[in-house]
C-alpha cells in the first residue's frame, strides 16, 4: 500500500515519521549510536516514547538488541550511522541471522545524490549485508517509511525469524510529508507467503512411525523456543514417553531435570544424548537444522533411524541431512495436532539402555584441592545452587559457554541465551545487558571468559550510565581456552597466540578487571581460591546494581565430553 500525503495535517520530517512508526509498532527500546548520517533520527527520538540506550560501540548495540529479542520474544531494534557505524553492526547482524533472532537494524545513509560516489562515510550496507539478512530495504521516498518499517518488523518476526535491515538516506530523513500510517496488524509482506497449515496426512505419518519404532528420540532445536512450543513439546514427550535431546539453542525448552531429558547433543554435549540420538530407530527432529556441531559427519549420523524433520523453513529440509519425511510447518502446530491423540509405549529396553549410559557417563570433573583456584564447573554449580536455578545465563563464547550448558540446569525457555551458530566472542556482556533491559525483574548473569569479555568490555559504561543491574562472572583462565584446548588435544600442546600472557613473573595479573569495573563506578571482587567462591557469589547477588566477579580458575580444565572434529559419536572423549 503506497502512502499519499494528506493536506489537512502538517508535514513532518521523515526522521520523525520513522520514530512515530516505531511507536505505533510497539517498540519501546532502541539501542542506537549516533553519527552524521543518523543525526536527524536521534534528534527525532528526543522526547519520544522510546527508551534510547546509547551503547559504547555499535557491535555492543547490535548484540544488546539481539539479547533483548532472545529473552523477550519480541523484535529487537538497533540503529547506527552510515559507513563505519553500519559496518560495525555486521557481526551482530550475522549472529542474529545464524540463530534466527528477530532484529530490525536501521542505518543512516549518505544522501541519495551521493550514493555510489564514495562520499564521506558511504558504504553499500545493503550489498554488504545481503547474505546475512532476511531482507533489506533502501528507502528512496519519504512517503514509504511507514510501510517499509512495518514490513521490516513483520518480516523479522514471521516465519523463521531473523534480521532485517532498513537503510535511510539523510535527505529522505530530512524530507517532509504528511504521513499515512497503514494498519500494521494487517500489513502484508511482499514475496513472503505465509506458512502452510499442518497437513493431516503428515500427522498420521508421524503417529504411524511412532507406533512402529522401538527406540525413538526427539531432537529439539531452537525452533521450539522461537515458535513458543515448549509446553507442547513437554506434553508430547510425556504423553508418548519419548526421550528428548535439546540442542544448545533449545536449552530450557525441555527441563534439564526431567527424567526424559538427555540434555544436549553434539561436540560437547552429554555422552548419553549423543548415543541416544545416534542409536535410535526413529528421530523426530523438531525445529532443528542438523548443525555440524551436532551431527559430525552426516553420513554417520543417526544411520539406522527413520528421520522425520519438521521445520518452518522449507530450505532446511534435506539441506544437511536427508530426511525420510520432511514436513514444512510451524512445529507448534504440528505438536498441537499430535497431542490431540497421543500414542504411548513403554520402550522399556530403550529407557534401560539410556539409564545405563547416564549412570556410566555423567557430567563430572575432579574437584580442586583446598586453597587452590576453583574449577569453573564448581563456580557454575554454586551459582546454580544459590540462584535456585532461576537465573538467566548469558555466556560469551568459548569453554565457559560449554560449561554453562553443562553445569547450570535450565528449566524454562529463553533462560540460556547464547551465540550458537556464529559463535561470536564478545556476545556475552552486551547481549546480557539487552536481556536485562527487556526483563528487568529477572536475574540475568553474564558468565564470560577473560578473552571474550574484553571484546566488548566498554559496555560497562552503558551498564553504569543506564543503571542496568547486570551480574557478571569472568571465568578467568588467562587463555583463549577453547582454541588452546584444541591445541592441547590435536597439536601437541603447541600454543600459538592462545595464551593471553596476563601475568608477570611477580605474580601480578593484568588486566585487573575489578579495577577497570571500578573505573566505571561498578563494584567488583577478585577471587583466587575455591573457598572464596560461595561468599563471593552471595556478595554479587546481594549487591544492588551491576557487579563484576573476576574468578581466577587457572588453566587446567578441558571441556569434556568432546567429539573430535570429523569424528562420530563413537569417538567421544570422556577424559
Instruction: Specify whether 267 is catalytic.
Output: no
Q: 121 catalytic, yes or no?
A: yes
Burial class (CB in 10 A: 0-12, 13-18, 19+), 120: exposed
Q: How far apart are the first and last CA of the chain?
A: 62
Query: What is the 3-class SS of 535-558, one letter each residue?
Result: HHHHHHHHCCCCEEEEEECCCCCC
Can you tell me the distance from the alpha carbon of 261 to that of 245, in angstroms, rounded to the nearest whole number? Answer: 6
Q: In this structure, how many other beta carbons lie within 10 angstroms of the beta carbon of residue 491? A: 12
Out of 98, 433, 472, 482, the active site residue is 482
Residue 120 designated active-site: yes
Torsion of CA 143, 146, 148, 154, to 10 degrees: -160
- The CA distance from 276 to 286, in Å, is 16
What would the grid cell of residue 430 be? 552486551
Residues in the chain: 575
Catalytic residue among 13, 31, 37, 58: 58
356 belongs to the catalytic site: no
Which residues, in sequence order, are bridge partners of residue 109? 169
Q: Which of 63, 109, 137, 170 is catalytic?
A: 170
**Active-site residue among 120, 343, 490, 510?**
120
Alpha carbons 107 and 395: distance in angstroms, whole number: 28
Three-class SS of residue 457? Answer: helix
- Beta-bridge partner residues of 104: 77, 164
- Nine cell digits for residue 405: 550448558
Point out which residues pair with 244 in neighbouring strands.
218, 261
Phi-psi group of 225: left, alpha or beta (phi > 0 → left; psi -120 to 50 → alpha; rest → beta): alpha
Active site residue 170: yes
Specify burial of residue 9 (Cβ count, 10 A radius: 0-12, 13-18, 19+). exposed
Separation CA 264–CA 266 (nearest Å)? 7
- The residue from 43, 74, 121, 458 that is catalytic is 121
Q: How far apart are CA 499 and CA 514, in angstroms?
A: 21
Q: Tell me the C-alpha distance between 418 and 446, whole Å.
A: 10
Catalytic site positions: 58, 120-121, 170, 482
Amino acid at each position: 500500500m503506497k502512502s499519499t500525503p494528506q493536506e489537512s495535517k502538517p508535514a513532518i520530517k521523515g526522521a520523525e515519521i520513522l520514530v512515530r512508526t516505531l511507536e505505533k509498532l510497539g517498540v519501546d527500546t532502541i539501542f542506537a549510536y549516533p553519527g552524521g548520517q543518523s543525526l536527524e533520527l536521534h534528534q527525532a527520538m528526543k522526547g519520544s516514547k522510546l527508551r534510547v540506550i546509547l551503547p559504547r560501540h555499535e557491535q555492543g548495540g547490535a548484540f544488546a538488541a539481539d539479547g533483548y529479542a532472545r529473552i523477550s520474544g519480541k523484535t529487537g531494534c538497533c540503529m547506527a550511522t552510515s559507513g563505519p557505524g553500519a559496518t560495525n553492526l555486521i557481526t551482530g547482524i550475522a549472529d542474529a541471522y545464524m540463530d534466527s533472532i528477530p532484529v530490525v537494524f536501521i542505518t543512516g545513509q549518505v544522501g541519495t545524490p551521493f550514493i555510489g560516489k564514495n562520499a564521506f562515510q558511504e558504504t553499500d550496507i545493503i550489498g554488504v549485508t545481503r547474505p546475512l539478512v532476511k531482507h533489506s530495504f533502501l528507502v528512496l521516498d519519504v512517503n514509504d517509511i511507514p510501510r517499509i518499517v512495518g514490513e521490516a518488523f513483520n518480516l523479522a518476526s514471521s516465519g523463521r525469524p531473523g534480521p532485517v535491515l532498513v537503510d535511510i538516506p539523510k535527505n529522505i530523513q530530512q524530507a517532509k510529508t504528511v504521513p499515512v500510517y497503514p494498519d500494521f496488524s494487517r500489513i502484508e509482506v511482499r514475496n513472503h507467503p505465509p506458512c502452510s497449515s499442518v497437513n493431516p496426512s503428515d500427522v498420521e505419518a508421524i503417529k504411524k512411525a511412532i507406533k512402529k519404532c522401538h527406540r525413538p528420540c526427539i531432537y529439539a532445536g531452537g525452533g521450539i523456543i522461537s515458535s513458543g512450543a515448549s509446553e507442547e513439546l513437554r506434553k508430547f514427550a510425556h504423553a508418548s514417553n519419548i526421550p528428548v535431546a535439546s540442542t544448545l539453542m533449545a536449552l530450557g525448552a525441555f527441563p534439564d531435570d526431567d527424567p526424559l531429558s538427555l540434555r544436549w547433543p553434539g561436540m560437547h554435549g552429554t555422552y548419553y544424548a549423543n548415543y541416544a540420538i545416534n542409536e535410535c530407530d526413529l528421530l523426530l527432529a523438531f525445529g532443528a537444522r542438523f548443525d555440524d556441531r551436532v551431527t559430525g559427519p552426516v553420513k554417520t549420523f543417526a544411520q539406522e533411524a527413520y528421520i522425520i524433520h519438521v521445520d518452518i523453513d522449507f530450505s532446511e529440509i534435506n539441506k544437511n541431512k536427508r530426511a525420510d519425511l520432511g514436513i514444512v510447518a510451524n512445529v507448534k502446530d504440528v505438536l498441537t495436532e499430535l497431542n490431540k491423540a497421543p500414542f504411548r509405549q513403554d520402550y522399556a529396553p530403550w529407557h534401560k539402555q539410556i539409564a545405563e549410559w547416564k549412570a556410566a557417563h555423567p557430567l563430572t570433573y575432579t574437584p580442586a584441592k583446598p586453597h587452590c583456584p576453583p574449577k569453573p564447573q564448581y563456580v557454575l554449580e554454586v551459582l546454580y545452587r544459590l540462584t535456585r536455578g532461576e537465573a538467566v545465563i548469558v555466556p560469551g563464547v568459548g569453554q565457559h559457554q560449554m560449561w554453562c550448558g553443562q553445569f547450570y540446569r535450565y528449566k524454562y525457555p529463553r533462560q540460556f541465551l547464547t551465540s550458537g551458530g556464529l559463535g561470536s566472542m564478545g556476545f556475552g556482556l552486551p547481549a546480557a545487558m539487552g536481556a536485562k533491559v527487556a526483563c528487568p525483574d529477572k536475574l540475568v548473569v553474564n558468565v564470560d571468559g577473560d578473552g571474550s569479555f574484553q571484546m566488548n568490555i566498554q559496555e560497562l559504561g552503558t551498564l553504569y550510565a543506564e543503571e542496568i543491574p547486570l551480574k557478571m562472572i569472568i571465568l578467568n583462565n588467562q587463555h583463549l581456552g577453547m582454541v588452546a584446548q584444541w591445541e592441547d588435544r590435536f597439536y601437541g600442546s603447541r600454543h600459538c597466540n592462545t595464551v593471553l600472557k596476563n601475568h608477570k613473573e611477580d605474580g601480578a595479573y593484568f588486566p585487573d578487571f575489578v579495577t577497570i569495573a571500578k573505573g566505571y563506578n561498578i563494584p567488583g571482587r577478585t577471587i583466587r581460591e575455591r573457598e572464596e567462591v560461595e561468599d563471593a557469589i552471595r556478595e554479587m547477588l546481594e549487591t544492588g546494581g551491576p557487579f563484576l566477579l573476576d574468578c581466577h580458575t587457572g588453566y587446567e580444565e578441558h571441556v569434556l565430553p568432546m567429539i573430535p572434529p570429523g569424528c562420530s559419536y563413537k569417538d567421544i572423549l570422556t577424559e
